Amino acid sequence: MIVAGVGSRRGTEADEIEKVVRMALDLYRVPAERLEVLATESDKAATEAFLEAARRLSVKLVACTVLDLDRVAGQVLTPSKLVLETKGVPSIAEASALVAAGRDARLLGTRVATAGATCAIAIGEGR
């Protein structure tokens, strides 16, 4: 299973989310049609921007609780001081990708970023 984990600033639009996901897929040479899941923190997953981005990418949207994200905190490659201060976990993008990718999940590399969003790609056996 291939997962795009995304973190974003409040108010980020679907265009920006889709852009950062496509950037990450290109960077790690993953064809967009192989992407199966868009994952993010639970509060963000309920927003219209994430629902629309998942629809545009033709993937399932997975919401990850802060407890889920904390469980994989030791596996993230690029912790964020801001995310740690605001959410209590070191990552949204990388951790969400790992959580949703499930068993034997691993990141393909560090997250990529635009002005309003970050994205990490993980591969795993699914939840």
Instruction: State the average pLDDT over residues 99-118.
Output: 96
Exposed/middle/buried for 75, CB within 10 Å: 0-12, 13-18, 19+? middle
For 39-73, what is each residue's pLDDT tens digit?
999 999 999 999 999 999 999 999 999 999 999 99
CATH of domain 6-122: 3.30.420.180
Packed helices 48-57 and 14-27: angle between N→C axes, nearest 10 degrees: 40
Residue spans per domain, the chain: 6-122
Would you state the pLDDT for residue 73? 93
- Token pair 């990708």: residue: 97
pTM: 0.94
C-alpha–C-alpha distance, residues 126 and 27, integer Å = 22
CB atoms within 10 A of CB 28: 15
